Structure 1
Amino acid sequence: MANYFASPIVAVTCTISILCLALAESANSPFIVAHKRVSRTKVNSDLERLSVSVDIYNAGSKPAYDVALYDDNWAEEVFDTVIGNTSKTWEKLDAGSLVSHSFELESKVKTVYYGTPALITYRVPTKSKLQEVYSTPILPLRILSESTAENKFQIAKMLLAKYGSLISVVLIVTIFANIITSPTKASAGKKKH
């Protein structure tokens, strides 16, 4: 009877110890987190400039080596690189350190662009294969379109022109009904017992 229970207990104990060793090994390695952001600046009605910035942070306990950033998925028929490069390399990224890379693009094409995350590769001394990490994705970019504040103002102006007289009549009737139904000060002072 003891042998029947001993074999599952040994298997569970071995599994738990293997998992603990794997977790301990992963705690002694670099952990790369990357954040990509884009800001738009409209130069004129036919030209918009994008400023792209990628922050790379090593949240692990060991340094990462041969860190490389690749963000070259910008469509060439839509964008021209103006300042900087879309790729960058660093020899070493220490634990707890942060590096940033920025570049600027210009576009003369009116479109909605769905960008892709940037690719970051790095080497861990204990592993032979390069490790890959992707940055956070960006929201769709409306290139050379009117800003949302201008669109909201245009919509509000159109609604006011279309329904303004109806809204004012409803407000006047509501205020009049409120005045009629609310008690006056003189009658509020008199209480019936």
Structure 2
Amino acid sequence: MEKAFRLAILAVLALIFVSSPFANASESPFIVAHKRVALKKINSGIERISVSIDVYNRGSATAYDVTLADDSWAQDVFDSVIGNTSKSWERLDAGSLVSHSFELESNVKTIYYGAPALVTYRVLTKSRLQEAYSTPILPLKILSDTESGKMTEKVTFFFIISQVAA
């Protein structure tokens, strides 16, 4: 009986010893980044692009030396107006959120396909920097004629024609 009890204790201790590295592996940061863009026409030849990126730590441990870089904006198309395209934080605790915003302007009529932003961070148990990417954005139609504007022109045209015909 005593021998069976000792074997059971040894088995439990061995199980704890073997499973503890796996338990520590699950205690790590999990970074999720969400990128949003809004367009606002300043005048007929300039459009302002407001970019906002939220960085969440959905993991169970703190991320250190967190750096956000959104350098995919072509310099021949966009001019920086407010803020920088990169930002750093010393730490991002588990369950927390940080946000970064900046604004760009463009006077080039184009459809722009932007890349996701890159988030790098350090985990205490790993020597190599970890990477996460933000959600992508839809193609931006910069300085394009909006469909709602075209629809308003069509309705106005048909209204004028119907008034003339009446």
TM-score > 0.5, shorter chain as reference: yes
The letter of the residue matching 1:109 is V
The letter of the residue matching 1:144 is L
Rounded Cα–Cα distance in structure 2 between residues aligned with 1:63 and 1:99: 13
Structure 1 residues 22, 79: CA separation in 2 closer, same or farther (over 3 Å shift)?
farther
Give the aligned partner of residue 59 of structure 1: 58
1:103 partner SS: strand
> Deviations 1:90-114 (Å, cap 9, x if unpaired)?
0000000000000000000000000
Q: RMSD value over aligned CA atoms?
A: 2.2
Shift of 1:148: 2.6
> Deviations 1:131-176 (Å, cap 9, x if unpaired)?
0000000000000012231234456678x69xx9xxxxxxxxxxxx
> Deviations 1:49-95 (Å, cap 9, x if unpaired)?
00000000000010000000000110001000000000000000000
Q: Which has the larger radius of gyration?
A: 1
Rounded Cα–Cα distance in structure 1 between residues aligned with 2:34 and 2:21: 27
The letter of the residue matching 1:54 is I
Give the aligned partner of residue 74 of structure 1: 73
The letter of the residue matching 2:135 is T
Structure 1 residues 43, 26: CA separation in 2 closer, same or farther (over 3 Å shift)?
same
The letter of the residue matching 2:145 is E
Q: Which moved more, 1:113-122 or 1:141-150?
A: 141-150
Rounded Cα–Cα distance in structure 2 between residues aligned with 1:152 and 1:127: 56
The letter of the residue matching 1:145 is S
Structure holding more strand per residue: 2
Unmatched segments (≥5 aa) in structure 1: 1-17, 165-193
Residue identity over aligned pairs, in percent, reads 63
Q: 5 Å matches for 1:7-156? A: 24-154=23-153
Rounded Cα–Cα distance in structure 2 between residues aligned with 1:43 and 1:137: 25
Rounded Cα–Cα distance in structure 2 between residues aligned with 1:49 and 1:34: 22
Shift of 1:23: 5.9
The letter of the residue matching 2:48 is R
Unmatched segments (≥5 aa) in structure 2: 1-17
Report which structure shows greater RCO (CA 8 Å, sep ≥6).
2
Rounded Cα–Cα distance in structure 2 between residues aligned with 1:67 and 1:87: 11
Structure 1 residues 109, 58: CA separation in 2 closer, same or farther (over 3 Å shift)?
same
Relative to the length of structure 1, the TM-score reads 0.68
Shift of 1:127: 0.3
